Structure 1
Amino acid sequence: MVTSRTLLAQLVAFDTTSRESNLALIDFVWRYLTDLGVNCELIHNAERSKANLYARLGPAGKGGVMLSGHSDVVPVDGQAWSVPPFALTERDGKLYGRGTADMKGFIACMLSAVPHFLAQPLTQPLHLAISYDEEVGCLGVRTLLDALAQRPEKPDICLIGEPTELQPVLGHKGKLGMRCEVQGAACHSAYAPQGVNAIEYAAKLIHRLTEMGERLAAAENQDARFDPPYTTVQTGVIQGGRALNIVPAECSFDFEVRTLPKDDAQQVADELERYAHRDLLPLMQAVNRDTSIRFTSISGYPGLYTDAESPAARLIAHLTGTDSFSTVAFGTEGGLFHQAGIPSVICGPGSMAQGHKPDEFISLEQLTACDAMLRRLAEWMCL
């Protein structure tokens, strides 16, 4: 049996930054699994430059458990690494490299456990999924879920191995990323009233967003299970203007809404768009008919909150030895699995405190503990 540490070294060596292809890593995993006699399926993107991998082992039929992880990692550009980011380095019981925590450590444990699962008299199927482009909006897994939707043999439970220090997590917020583009009308700044200042109208929209965020943060809208305990709204990027003596004709800004699972991010975007078209656009077009305000979606994924009494929650409590469930601030593919009718929980080795940073690491202790958790899963799947 190949150890999870050995497999992690091999996985980290693939540069699967989201802007790059993940096919070399997927080919490695495909060969590893097929050599063990596991049938694998690849679900490519439209350009065939990336792929999800799906595999199934154990008895035929409905149900079972899915283990899921994403293959892509965030960039190392501009980060001060003391070790090579795409080579595993061990120091004092810690394994350094991009993706060790987020989340190739879990994938390594998952793959290392496959021979053990194959040797057991499983009474239900084990599903394996490795996706692409999670870090840029949970994009790749959607085609995998579309494929599963056409089949009657979906898993009953999905365990997503994002780094939680192997603590059971039942929830996270959803996210919607939007871009607003304001098209004004330029003129010499000495005659500013004859133009339409795109930056100033964008500022009005951003101010309205701030007010909406304050309303969502009110005590009656809060859920103490999350941190922060309310839906948040923030503007992250703004661009506009060419020179101080020109009334700016263009301005765009990107904003995001991170919602509690009970809230709908699209309602925030729709409210802002109504304000733009009802209150601001008439003022702009009274000066110049060619002005406009346009909204486009950049990215988004739903929130997750799995019932603490559900079979998925009870399973992860059994595997971890605790029903002290928590939530995480970061997003996962869990909400999409849940929407597809596959109840999901989040639990994996390592900590997101190390994710996305230079000198990212996972401890050998966490890998070993995850190996043990998956062996307990195999025992449970034989009952």
Structure 2
Amino acid sequence: GGVVLSGHTDVVPVDGQNWTVDPFQLSEHDSKLYGRGTADMKGFIASVLAAVPLFVKTELKTPIHLAFSYDEEIGCLGVRPMLAELAKRPLKYSLCLIGEPTEMKPVLGHKGKLAMRCCIKGAACHSAYAPYGVNAIEYAAQLITRLGEMGKRQAQPELHDARFDPPYSTIQTGVIKGGRALNIVPAECEFDFEVRALPDFDAQTVADELQQYAQNELVPAMQAVQPDTGIEMQPLSAYPGLVTPPDSNAAQLLALISGSDDFGTVAFGTEGGLFEQAGIPTVVCGPGSMDQGHKPDEFIHVQQLAACDAMLVKLANHLAQHSL
């Protein structure tokens, strides 16, 4: 068994961002360390690696495992084969601590996410003869409107969970592409939408309902004009939400080493739900703030790293005295 310290090694691009410092050269100003990934979440990884000599020197009754993944930012891709490999091992892990930036506050939950692409194949013609074509953009608009209606349903007070902000599952369309010229009825349109789901809500039901609406209500009208038309849904990425009970052993250990039992949730996602699905109790606590993550001039306060170092020392001391 043992305790898993987890982080992702990838970062988001800096393309199109107006940095005033070199994003790939660490620099320090006013007790802040600047660089891409300092907040999300290479600060935690640096603290963990710096603590390895301590872990090795300490006679631990419970071992510590390091689990660093790749491509977390584009759908938690790297952690999946890692978890498949861990499942083959005859070990039962007591805890996974994910060091995403929480300003060192103990976090027990976050929403899940489903990202989908909807592709509409219409039929082009001159706009003077618009009724003889199938306008892919107009059908996309109907689908997006339907998503908005579903989003309003999820916002009903009876579905709220006050532990999260916002306290309900959300649906939003973030990208749309289509059309070639104003005087051409567009033959193609595609849009991407996402569901940020409370842990007890199945985000796939949104995609399924939209697909059913498309097939029952829209596609027949499209194909009545031109048979070679249709609507297709493509999954882009997905990860589950995370909810760890505050009275669990994992939560209580996090409270001990972080110095706080004021548990919270975060709005962003982590690999935590996947670890939890693999049967590993999971919590989140790490240095830095996501308010700085993914932005130009990303930074982390040095005192945040010091607090993380102190937490890891507490963890080593605890595991030297206790078996989990």
Aligned partners of 1:67 and 1:129 also within 8 Å: yes
Q: Which residue of 2 aligns with 1:314?
A: 252
Paired residue secondary structure (2:100): coil
Paired residue secondary structure (1:235): strand
Whole-Å Cα distance in 2 between the matches of residues 323 and 192 of structure 1?
Answer: 63
Matched ranges for 1:158-307 at <5 A: 158-307=96-245
Correspondence 1:380 to 2:318: yes
Aligned partners of 1:168 and 1:347 also within 8 Å: yes
Whole-Å Cα distance in 2 between the matches of residues 186 and 307 of structure 1?
Answer: 55
Root-mean-square deviation (Å): 0.8
Correspondence 1:328 to 2:231: no
Whole-Å Cα distance in 1 between the matches of residues 46 and 263 of structure 2?
Answer: 25
Paired residue secondary structure (2:300): strand
Q: Deviations over 1:123-157 (max 9, x none)?
A: 11111011100111111111101111111214121
Gaps of 5+ in 2: none
Q: Which amino acid aligns with 1:324?
A: D
Paired residue secondary structure (2:320): coil
Whole-Å Cα distance in 2 between the matches of residues 89 and 243 of structure 1?
Answer: 48
Deviation at 1:85, TM superposition (A): 0.8
Q: Which residue of 2 aligns with 1:38?
A: none
Deviation at 1:97, TM superposition (A): 0.9
Q: Which residue of 2 aligns with 1:111?
A: 49
Q: Which amino acid aligns with 2:173?
A: T
Paired residue secondary structure (2:93): coil
Q: Deviations over 1:230-275 (max 9, x none)?
A: 1000001111111111111111110000001010110010000000
Q: Which residue of 1 aligns with 2:281?
A: 343
| Match of residue 93, structure 2, among 138, 144, 155 | 155
Q: Deviations over 1:142-197 (max 9, x none)?
A: 11011111112141210000011110000111000000000011112111111111
Paired residue secondary structure (1:158): strand
Q: Which residue of 1 aligns with 2:15?
A: 77
Correspondence 1:125 to 2:66: no
Aligned partners of 1:148 and 1:154 also within 8 Å: no
Aligned partners of 1:127 and 1:155 also within 8 Å: no
Runs (4+) off by over 3 Å? none
Q: Which amino acid aligns with 1:150?
A: K
Correspondence 1:94 to 2:32: yes
Deviation at 1:311, TM superposition (A): 0.9
Q: Which amino acid aligns with 1:211?
A: E
Whole-Å Cα distance in 2 between the matches of residues 172 and 379 of structure 1?
Answer: 29
Q: Deviations over 1:100-129 (max 9, x none)?
A: 111110001101111111111111111101
Q: Which residue of 2 aligns with 1:56?
A: none
Gaps of 5+ in 1: 1-62
Whole-Å Cα distance in 2 between the matches of residues 270 and 207 of structure 1?
Answer: 16
Q: Which amino acid aligns with 2:140?
A: A
Whole-Å Cα distance in 1 between the matches of residues 249 and 216 of structure 2?
Answer: 48
Scaled by the length of structure 1, what TM-score is found? Answer: 0.83
User: Percent sequence identity over matched residues?
Assistant: 69
Deviation at 1:304, TM superposition (A): 0.5
Whole-Å Cα distance in 2 between the matches of residues 368 and 317 of structure 1?
Answer: 18
Whole-Å Cα distance in 2 between the matches of residues 246 and 71 of structure 1?
Answer: 46
Q: Which amino acid aligns with 1:166?
A: M
Paired residue secondary structure (2:210): helix
Whole-Å Cα distance in 2 between the matches of residues 154 and 250 of structure 1?
Answer: 50
Q: Which residue of 1 aligns with 2:295?
A: 357
Matched ranges for 1:53-68 at <5 A: 63-68=1-6
